[in-house]
Chains A and B, each alone.
Chain A
Amino acid sequence: MAVYGNFASQLIIDTSLEPTHPVTIVSLSGRINACLLAVALAACAVAPSRDDQLAKDLIGKWSEVRRVGCECDREEQSIELKGDRTFQVVGVRRDARGSKEYSFAGVWKVEDGHFWYKVTSAKPPEFHAPGEERRDQIRTVTEWEWVTIERTTGLEARAWRFPK
């Protein structure tokens, strides 16, 4: 609305400058602005909130590799976020002793620009136990990348989307 307010004052300035040509310009300008405003208002009426949009963009399958413990241990996980707000993670944890597979599932949502999830089942429960909850700030979700700021470390975590 602030932007349109500026246009309104521009209309007054234009009319005071020139009696003939600017009137035509103002008239055209006014029509275009009115159309644009109508489009904007219509869009506002139907546009999803940022959280809704983020949640929609997040639905799909993501690949993430996280360093855990010392810099040499890592978790590789495929994260599937479903439209019904449930998720399934299948992962493998690797360290000097070898690798161990795990999986966990639960519910998720986007709230105030944060990704929240709660684990409801896990196998085995030693890495991610039922009841575990996390809430990380979402920085971006694009066609390929999902970037969050981890609350515990303040560092970025990046996931890559599986090709559709």
Chain B
Amino acid sequence: MARLLTGLGALLLLGSAVWPAGSAGAQPKPAEPKPSSQDCLACHADKDLKRGAPKPGRRDSLFADEGELKASAHAGLECAACHRTATAPHDSPLPPVQCAGCHDKVRVELGGGVHVSARGQAGAPACASCHGTHDVRRAATMTIEACASCHGKQVQVYRASVHGRSRQRGDSEAATCRSCHGSAHGVLAKSDPRSSTYHLNLPRTCAQCHADPELAKRYNIPIANVYQLYMDSIHGRAVTKSGLLVAANCSDCHGSHDIRPHTDPGSRVFPANVPKTCGACHAGVLAQYAESVHGKAAAKGVSMAPVCTDCHSAHQIRRVEGAPWQLDVIRECGSCHEESLRTYRDTFHGKVTALGMARVAKCADCHGAHTVRALSDPASSVSEANLVATCAKCHPGATARFAEFQPHADHSNKARYPILYYSYLLMTTLLVGTFAFFGLHTLLWLPRSLVERLRRGRAPGGEGPEP
């Protein structure tokens, strides 16, 4: 200990020898009291105070606004609380403030986050980039402006989105940056499997709000159980069960910062835009669909023309190889083609599928699914040229005569199907005639037979007068 003190004394003596008396430190440094804020402001209140030499990434002005500080979260702090090494006056520039000196917990939060790992790169955010320097704001009062200072483009897109607009209307429930990306300090890159916006994690992130049917009710969102539906869908299972990065998650269809309601023509899920949105992954199907009667009509802006979601649904998309979907989609076709569905249900094909067997012909087996074309189109699978081959898919040995079968015949249409009309009429007449005669016969016989039985007694073979 004694030796240490001697050493220190020697050092101080050396110091006094090097630095002329009356300059910066009249007293030895460690003994020097911290300068008060007034000491600092003696120089830094000067608005024109500038850095000696410009430093990249830092502002040139060395002006410190006292008013700003007094209004900030740090109002109660002296300058030296942050600028710990400061002396008044000082010649050499001060080292950057280490916020972690007080906010040690934040340093842990930041650890591994994208905002920290990017440090050292040009334009990487420091604490002050978001929180300000002397005008330090409380986290609770910070807005997306803080994010916008770097992520301007994303914030601009967000402002036009359904979430952004909802916020602007003063709705505190609508998602903002932090709702999806998590706390600013721990924010992770989208490519990081721990990130809330990582492809496989995003559905759960959206579900924080959109799994709540009450929220859907409050905001008139038509599908209340969207998360549950999605999780049971082919996309949801592929993402959550198989971990497929190529399977659609929420943002693949809805967008991320640019989410808009499906009624907005600018939305990715606006009906007219749906084929393009789905086609981003299902390019082959999109190409077929674009050539189909549905696709052409949709491209012309016919609002009745079905797009992908009209048949496949939006969130309940199922495997098309399974019987349940194949049978259910028949009803979907029938929601527009009512007459065809009605006549189909009169045939063996339609009845067997109604009973749950998918092996017989369904709409798409004859007409094609994405390739469906008008009857008048020679390329149609049900055109005159292709019909026999289409029937032969299930009925090997089908002939042109076989293909004369009317799979959508309507026996009530006398003009188009006279033979069927009269066949039906004949059968009905026979049915009604038989039942009318024997119905009457039975009605008359019943009381007579009753009388007969009562007269004869209970036993059929019992005594009784001969008739």
Does B associate with A?
A: no
